[in-house]
Structures are given as structure tokens and as C-alpha cells.
Chain A
């Protein structure tokens, strides 16, 4: 009751302040008048009565002040005064305020910009029910069989085994990403989708926005559940949010599918960097992944989908993992005794039995990009943290100088009765104001920086759902950073400048001649800044060198004037024969484009992180000592592939058209051909000192595999997966050979005579003329493709350099400030020296010596710090580097040199100002 009335009274008082003041004034005046009236009635003369009434009543103002206090307005009033006064002080010295706010804006802006990326790429959870309970199953160990689609995949039967036998999960589901051709209302396009189990939506807790979701009922008949659920975004964008969409039929990879519903808003599948447009029951996998001899739904020797579970209450990751192992063991033991292992070597069997089922956190779903960017982003966040630290040190220094400049003012205020807490509060409000303005400017800066970052390093990021929008989490982060910064640099100066020894401050005399001991804290801060800058510059040096190394290592073939693009006629309903014919016609048509020198096709696009590894048996080679079989990175190529890419033949011959003829009925292995070409590495590795030409290799690593493919040529080594990886052993097969499988994507390479840009347009036109339903994707020059594949490295190198120099700049500003202040304080001393005969040069030298001392101290502290950090960070950062080790490859000396140069420049200005002082003026200086 009384609390409520207090709040009501307080809010009335604050909100209707002027009315309150007027009322109070009127009330008190009435009192005085009434009092005077009474006195007059008792016979006192009117004027005398008014005077006495006023005297007895006392000061109106004081009474009002007490009245405000009684209403709880005192704190409020003081705070308002503090803020007003603070703003006035900032306006009074615009130079200082600008530098301070800019410094903070840079520090906070850099942090916010990077955190916004960290937040979106690394921290954001899936928009589903209780995402923290989700875990991803991750099979660890040497798999026997084929795997597609990267890490953490399982076979469908194994997923079903675990779905039926586990104690850890309240539910499980599986999913597999696919690309498909969508044909609806006479228009074709390429879309991303997800094959999902019937439990998917239920376990995730994703609700329908329209219609119904895929349920366990849709999990029964292989190839017999032609249903699709649209994602909300795709429904809005492609179908204009049409509510009549449910029940409509669309053609997906030439299969007609009925749309049964639309998923809830913002949900677009399990991979944040590949948002999907629709979901299809996993029973329909053949339509998207292709028909195989054994259905992928029954095959235990192919892992191709990811499985997730929702942890039961009370289960953490370790408990879940432990509880899965006994059943895992029984599954493995059953599998090795099945038909799928009948040809397996004892080694493969033994290794397979050692597999374990791991569980990974699944709150954020699954993403390759996230894994790639995790360390780089945290490295950058750490770096920006240091930059903020340096910015704060600068501000602390600035405020220290300023408050010591205001010592007299503060001493006077203390002397006439202001309380110390009140003045500390006042100074604190001033620094908070700086902080607030700085962080506002920083937010603006971060927004612009993020847009530039996205444009520079993640041109495709916008489609990935990464945006520059600053959400509440980023704002919260900035707020926290700001508050910490404000506390860090605001409080110490405020406390120091209100130390209660007033007398020396008020006198302010002798100290300025002899006071060298003052400001040591500021100098220490500058030395620390120099040290931190050195560490950052050295770090940037490592990343720069790594990038240069990667650029220099090269692909192994000339990448200029080379174009590549992908297409997949299978997605438009082509069968094997039609695809073959299409590729042959495509090659001819592309070759006819003016300016095209040659055309090559390949099933694996190189230098894109993709790869196709296969187990092989090599004639006359017993396999590796460990018992494993030979392995190689494969590619299927057209006859002109080597010529187009500019990869020279070392010996033997290239494929020709006749190599593509079927070899004979004896070859039934998928993808086998009568002939093969190997690279130098393969030759060195498996035919040391012998001529590989005419020898044979076979597909598969099981004992007794027939070696039916004859080696007809050896080509020079070139890179395969990416620039970062070593050249692998490679085997090339003719793309139209017996086991031709038209279901995959094909990359076409064009070597041009002149500008690739004009050829690009012509090539698109040719494909459209051949079949307008076939989409051309990922068209780019190989130069651009390589540069894009280095985008993470580029980002690390350039941002760490930018931040390193930013730190150096801030440290220089700090040094400049400290030295200017020191010179100003010692004006009189310098004047005395000059009068006594010191030359300009010796004064300059004196100040510069001090600068050198500070820089030297910082560098001396920085070098071992950089080394220690390099040692500890090595394990963490090494995977990001190429051809450099953090402990040995850093350019600490160069960094130290740069720093020293910048610092000397910053120190030179105040030094020369000191040396050019007029001694007479200096002596009179107060």
C-alpha cells in the first residue's frame, strides 16, 4: 500500500515536475501571507508583519529543497545535474571529446562487428523446441563401405537400429540434404531440399503453418510416399503465400509430389548455411540420390544420412555416449558377419569392429561453414578484444590527464563542501557519457563494417541467412562491453583525482617544476599498449605470410583464362543414354564458341574442397604395411580435359574417343573402365623405379580384386581438393566408360583465348539452346574460384592486419597524449633548463629518450608475450596456417620496427614542441 503510494507520488513528482514546483511555491507563499495576516490582525504594521513572517518562516528555497528531498527527488535531481554538467564539459572541449568518442567507437565497433558474425555463424540455435537437447550421432573409426556427403553420416538401417534401441533419447530423426530440379507452373529451377524421417518434425517440435507435416505414417513404403512440405520462406517467396497450395502437385526431379503443408516460420532445415525450400519423406530417396543395386534404405555398407536425437531429461553428452556403446558393439558384430563383409580383408574387419558412436552437440544443427569459421572467428574476436583494451587504456589516460588538469576545480568544489562520492559520481557520469556516445557511434560503425565484411568475404552469405541486422544479443554484448569499458577507464581517474589532500592541489606550485613522479600509471599503460600492439602485429604477420604462401604454392596448372561451370541433366529427367548424348553435343557446341580454345569435362570439380576417394588394388603391390589397400583420389574426365587445364602428359597418351567404348561383359564393377591415367605421385608411390605404363589396377581393396584397368598415361601432379592440401595420388578414368553414371553433376572447363567474360555469356546461351530446362550453376573463372576458396584466409590476414594497425594507431595516439601531457607539465622545468643553457637539440633528445624508453619497454615486454602466446595458441591456430608455424614464422622484428617508427613519430611532435618553446614564456607558465 505505502510502497505503491510512494511510487505513485514519485512518478507524479518526476513526470509533472513544473506543476509540483508551482504548487509548492504557492503553498509556501500562502503560509507566509496567512502568517503575516495574523500578525497584522494583532496590530503589527503591515510591512513589519510581512518582514517578520518571512524571517520566521526561513528560506523558501531551502524549504523547497527539503520538500523535494521528502518526495524522493534528490537523487533524481542530482543525476540530472550530473548529466547536464557532463554534457557541458564534453562540449567545452570538443577536440578531446571527439578523439575519445572515436577511440571508443573503433574499439566497440570492431568488437560488435565481429561478434555479430560470431553470433550468427557460431552461436545461434535452430528455431525449434528446446534445441539444447538435440545431439548429432557421429560414427568414429574406419568405415567399411562407401560414404557420401561428408562427416557424421550413418547408413539408414543403422539409424533405424538406434531409433529402436536406445535409452538416451526421447526421440530420434534423420535427414539428408539434396538438390533437385523443381518444375511447377511451367517453370524450372534448382532448389535445395531435405529428405527427412517421419519423426523429424515431431521430435524437433516444428509445427505446421498450413496443412500437416510429414509424420511416422509417411515412413512406410519405399518410393511410395510422394509428399512434400514447403518451408515457410519458400512458400512466401515462390507461391506468394497462397493458402490453397496444400494438395497441389509439383514435379521434383520429374517425380510428381503432392504438397501437404507448410512448416512454421523461420524454420528452413538443419543446415543454417544451406536453407532448404522443401522437405520430402526419406522413403523417396531414390528420386533424389539415384537408383542403386541395393536400395539405400536397406544397404548397410553405404552411409549417407545424418541422425539426431533429443536427449531425455537427466542425460548429458557423456552419459548418452556411454549408453549407446553396448548396442553399437552388437550392431558392428552383426554387420561384419553379413554378406556385405564377405570380401573384406581381416584388417578392414578388425578396424570396423573398433568403431564407436560419438554424440556431438546439435543445438545449432549441422554446418560445414561453421566448422571452417569457428577458429578464425574466435581468433578475430580475441584480437578485437585486445583492440578494445588498448582503446580503454587510451581513454583512461585521457581522463587521467583531464582530471589532473581539473584538480584545482575539483579541490575547490571539495573545499566548499561537495562530498567526495558526489564528485566521483559526477566524474563517473562524464566517462559514462563518453562511453554511451562511443558505443552508439560504435554500433553504427559495426553495422557499416559488417556490410563491408559480408560483401568482401562472404558474397554468398546473404543467401545463407547471415545478415548485418543487429539483434538483441549483439546489443547486449555491446552494452556489456561498454559498461566494462566505462568501469575500467572511468573509475580509477575519478577516484584518484578526488583524493582528499586539497592543500597541494590548491597551491599547485612547486609540483610543476619537480613533479616527475606523477603520471607513472599513464606511462605504464602506454608501455602495455605498445606490447599488445606488437603481439597483434606479429599475429597479423603470421596470417599474412600464410596467405602469401598459399597464393604462391599455386594449383600446378595455369589458372588464367579458364572458366568452369556445373550442370546436371539428370535433375531434368535425363537417363544415362540421354546424358551421354547431351555431354557429347555440349562439348561440340561449346568448342564452336569463338574465343574458346578447348573444352574439357570432369565429374569432380577440383580445388573446391570436394573429392572422390576410392579403394584400389594395384598389380604387383601388396598394399600398405598396415594391411590397408591402395587409395587414390579419382576423377572421370573427357579426352580434352588435360589439354584444357594445361596439365602436361609426362609419358604415355591421353584418352581418346575409343577409350569410352564398353570394355566387355566381364566388367561389372561400378565405374570401371579398360584404361586409366595416373599422376606422378601415384606412379612414385606404387611403381617406384618401374615404368607404370601397361600395368593394371582394379577398383576395390578387398583381397582377390581383379585388376582390369590398364595404365596408359602419366600426368604431372596438380592440386586436387584445395591449395592447402598436398597433391594426392590420383587416378583418372574416361567419363563415358562402361560404368557411366549420369546421375552426378558434371563440370565443364573452357580455356579461352581472350577475355573470359564474353565467353561466359555465350556458354550460357549454348546450354539454354540445347535444353532450357538445364540450369547452369557456379559459373566462374578458376582464378575467382581459387580466390574465393581462400576467403577465410583472406579474411583472417586482412582483418588481423587492419586490427593490428588500428591497435598501433591507438597506441600511438596514447603515446602522443602521454608525452604531450608530460611536456606540458614540465614546461617550467624545460624553461629553466633552456635559460641555463640547454640547447634545442638536447631538449628534443631528452623528450625523445623518454619516448624510446616507453617504446623499448613495450617491445621488450611484447616479444616474449608474443612467443608465449604463439606457443599456447599454436595447437589452436596451426590448422589455419599454411607453411608457417606460429612460434617460428612470426615477423616479430618487423612488427617491432613498424611500431618503433610509428611511436617515434607520435613522440616526435610533443618533443619538437618542447624544444621550440620560448624560455621566457615557459618560465611564466603556470
Chain B
């Protein structure tokens, strides 16, 4: 297994939005899903997850309601709102453009400059 990567500053919100956009999840589930999709290559500080969730909810991009977990426990499930969907879209676009630009810069060869 590859060594785990540290999450880039400011990307956690985007990842949470993406994770939740695939279906309602509780906090622990968000963590699991991101790790699962990234094939365990990304390490998320558990401490930073909940403040991020609350922040997103405070801003109205996700919303929560109480439900039952797989193990028949009471858990809080988060869902993407319409505003959150738009936000995710914008952030994804921005990210892709940024990634292109950065990749372009890093891939530059002397003769191209």
C-alpha cells in the first residue's frame, strides 16, 4: 500500500460535498467513503471532519437529519442541498482548471518557455 497523502489545505470541504452528493451519509460514513474512494491513500484528520461538516451546514450547502445506521444505532445523516450542488459544481470546475494549470507549469520543458 502506498504511503498515505496529507490532505491539501482547503480541499476537505469539496471532498465532503462530493462524498455526500453520492448519497446521504453520517459523519463517520463520510470519512469511510472518502478513504474508500481514494483507496486508502488519503488521510483525513478525524478532528477536522466535524467542524467542516458544521461549517458546511451553517452555510446551507448540506443539511442533516437523524436516521438509523447499519448497526441499528441512531446517527445523523447529511445530504446535499440545491445550493450545495451548485457549490460542488463550481468547486470542481475551479479545481480542474487549477490542476490543469499547475500540471502545465510543472510539466513545462526548457524548450517550451
A contact set with B: CB distance below 8 Å: 1-2, 4-6, 8-10, 23, 26-28, 30-31, 33-35, 37, 56-58, 62-63, 66-67, 69-72
B71 at the interface (CB under 8 A from A): yes
Given contacts A26-B74, A34-B73, A63-B51, contact A5 B27 (CB under 8 A): no
Given contacts A2-B60, A27-B75, contact A57 B47 (CB under 8 A): yes
A31 touches B47 (CB 8 A): no
B73 touches A30 (CB 8 A): yes
Given contacts A1-B60, A30-B76, A34-B73, contact A63 B28 (CB under 8 A): no
Residue in A1, A2, A5, A58 whose CB lies within 8 Å of B47:
A58
B33 at the interface (CB under 8 A from A): no
Given contacts A5-B59, A56-B46, contact A30 B54 (CB under 8 A): no
1/0 per position for B46-75, CB-CB distance to A under 8 A? Answer: 110011101101111100000001010111
Nearest CB to that of B82 among chain A residues? A1
B54 touches A70 (CB 8 A): yes
Given contacts A9-B57, A63-B51, contact A30 B46 (CB under 8 A): no
B98 at the interface (CB under 8 A from A): no
B26 CB contacts on chain A under 8 angstroms: 27, 30-31, 34
Nearest CB to that of A33 among chain B residues? B73
B83 at the interface (CB under 8 A from A): yes
A23 touches B76 (CB 8 A): yes
A71 CB contacts on chain B under 8 angstroms: 54, 58
Given contacts A67-B51, A70-B51, contact A35 B60 (CB under 8 A): no
B61 CB contacts on chain A under 8 angstroms: 2
B interface SS class: helix
Nearest CB to that of A1 among chain B residues? B83
Nearest CB to that of A26 among chain B residues? B74
CA gap between A37 and B70 in the complex, in Å: 12
A63 touches B75 (CB 8 A): no
A67 touches B83 (CB 8 A): no
Given contacts A1-B83, A56-B46, contact A31 B28 (CB under 8 A): yes
Nearest-Cβ distance from residue B79 to partner chain A, whole angstroms: 14
CA gap between A907 and B59 in the complex, in Å: 62
Nearest CB to that of A37 among chain B residues? B71
* Interface size class, chain B: 20 to 34
B51 touches A30 (CB 8 A): no
A26 CB contacts on chain B under 8 angstroms: 74, 76
27 A-B contacts, Cβ less than 8 Å apart? A1-B83, A2-B60, A4-B60, A5-B58, A5-B60, A5-B83, A6-B58, A26-B74, A26-B76, A27-B75, A28-B50, A30-B27, A30-B28, A30-B73, A30-B76, A31-B26, A31-B50, A34-B28, A34-B69, A37-B71, A56-B46, A67-B50, A69-B51, A70-B54, A70-B55, A71-B54, A72-B58
A2 touches B83 (CB 8 A): yes
Nearest CB to that of B32 among chain A residues? A38
CA gap between A61 and B84 in the complex, in Å: 28
CA gap between A63 and B50 in the complex, in Å: 7
A interface SS class: helix
CA gap between A120 and B58 in the complex, in Å: 49
Task: Other than A1-B83, A69-B51, A70-B58, give 15 A-B pairs with Cβ distance below 8 A.
Answer: A2-B60, A5-B60, A6-B58, A6-B59, A27-B26, A27-B27, A28-B50, A30-B27, A31-B26, A31-B27, A34-B28, A34-B75, A57-B47, A67-B51, A71-B58
Nearest-Cβ distance from residue B95 to partner chain A, whole angstroms: 20
A10 CB contacts on chain B under 8 angstroms: 58
1/0 per position for B36-48, CB-CB distance to A under 8 A? Answer: 0000000000110
Nearest-Cβ distance from residue A274 to partner chain B, whole angstroms: 62
Question: Which of B47, B52, B71 has the largest number of chain A CB atoms within 10 A?
Answer: B47
Top 5 nearest A-B pairs by Cβ distance? A5-B60, A70-B54, A66-B51, A70-B55, A34-B28
A28 CB contacts on chain B under 8 angstroms: 50
CA gap between A67 and B56 in the complex, in Å: 11
Nearest-Cβ distance from residue B9 to partner chain A, whole angstroms: 16
1/0 per position for B5-24, CB-CB distance to A under 8 A? Answer: 00000000000000000000
A70 CB contacts on chain B under 8 angstroms: 51-52, 54-55, 58
Nearest CB to that of B61 among chain A residues? A2
Question: Which of A2, A31, A67, A69 has the largest number of chain B CB atoms within 10 A?
Answer: A31
A62 CB contacts on chain B under 8 angstroms: 47
B55 CB contacts on chain A under 8 angstroms: 70
B59 touches A30 (CB 8 A): no
A66 CB contacts on chain B under 8 angstroms: 47, 50-51
CA gap between A5 and B62 in the complex, in Å: 11
CA gap between A371 and B58 in the complex, in Å: 60
Nearest-Cβ distance from residue B28 to partner chain A, whole angstroms: 5
B47 CB contacts on chain A under 8 angstroms: 57-58, 62-63, 66
B69 CB contacts on chain A under 8 angstroms: 30, 34
A1 CB contacts on chain B under 8 angstroms: 60, 83
Nearest-Cβ distance from residue B40 to partner chain A, whole angstroms: 13
B76 CB contacts on chain A under 8 angstroms: 23, 26-27, 30
Nearest-Cβ distance from residue A430 to partner chain B, whole angstroms: 31
Nearest CB to that of A3 among chain B residues? B60
CA gap between A2 and B86 in the complex, in Å: 12
A5 CB contacts on chain B under 8 angstroms: 58-60, 83
Nearest-Cβ distance from residue A557 to partner chain B, whole angstroms: 85
CA gap between A881 and B106 in the complex, in Å: 91
Nearest CB to that of A13 among chain B residues? B58
A57 CB contacts on chain B under 8 angstroms: 46-47
Nearest-Cβ distance from residue B82 to partner chain A, whole angstroms: 9
A4 CB contacts on chain B under 8 angstroms: 60
Nearest-Cβ distance from residue B34 to partner chain A, whole angstroms: 14
CA gap between A288 and B7 in the complex, in Å: 95
Nearest-Cβ distance from residue B80 to partner chain A, whole angstroms: 14
A6 CB contacts on chain B under 8 angstroms: 58-60
A58 touches B71 (CB 8 A): no
CA gap between A30 and B60 in the complex, in Å: 23
CA gap between A9 and B47 in the complex, in Å: 22
1/0 per position for B70-113, CB-CB distance to A under 8 A? Answer: 01011110000001000000000000000000000000000000
Given contacts A34-B69, A56-B46, contact A9 B51 (CB under 8 A): no
CA gap between A10 and B58 in the complex, in Å: 7
Nearest-Cβ distance from residue B17 to partner chain A, whole angstroms: 14
CA gap between A67 and B49 in the complex, in Å: 10
Nearest-Cβ distance from residue B61 to partner chain A, whole angstroms: 8
B58 touches A30 (CB 8 A): no
Nearest CB to that of A9 among chain B residues? B58
CA gap between A26 and B28 in the complex, in Å: 13
A9 CB contacts on chain B under 8 angstroms: 57-58, 60
Residue in B46, B59, B74 whose CB lies within 8 Å of A2:
B59
Residue in B52, B57, B74, B83 whose CB lies within 8 Å of A30:
B74
B54 CB contacts on chain A under 8 angstroms: 67, 70-71
CA gap between A8 and B60 in the complex, in Å: 9
A33 CB contacts on chain B under 8 angstroms: 73
CA gap between A69 and B52 in the complex, in Å: 11
Question: Which of B52, B54, B55, B60 has the largest number of chain A CB atoms within 10 A?
Answer: B54
Nearest-Cβ distance from residue A590 to partner chain B, whole angstroms: 87
Nearest CB to that of A31 among chain B residues? B28
CA gap between A63 and B61 in the complex, in Å: 21
Given contacts A5-B60, A71-B58, contact A34 B83 (CB under 8 A): no
Nearest-Cβ distance from residue B65 to partner chain A, whole angstroms: 11
CA gap between A58 and B50 in the complex, in Å: 12
CA gap between A739 and B23 in the complex, in Å: 108
Nearest-Cβ distance from residue B70 to partner chain A, whole angstroms: 9
Nearest CB to that of A72 among chain B residues? B58
CA gap between A37 and B61 in the complex, in Å: 30
Nearest CB to that of B83 among chain A residues? A1
A27 CB contacts on chain B under 8 angstroms: 26-27, 50, 75-76
CA gap between A9 and B55 in the complex, in Å: 10
A30 CB contacts on chain B under 8 angstroms: 26-28, 69, 73-76
CA gap between A27 and B73 in the complex, in Å: 11
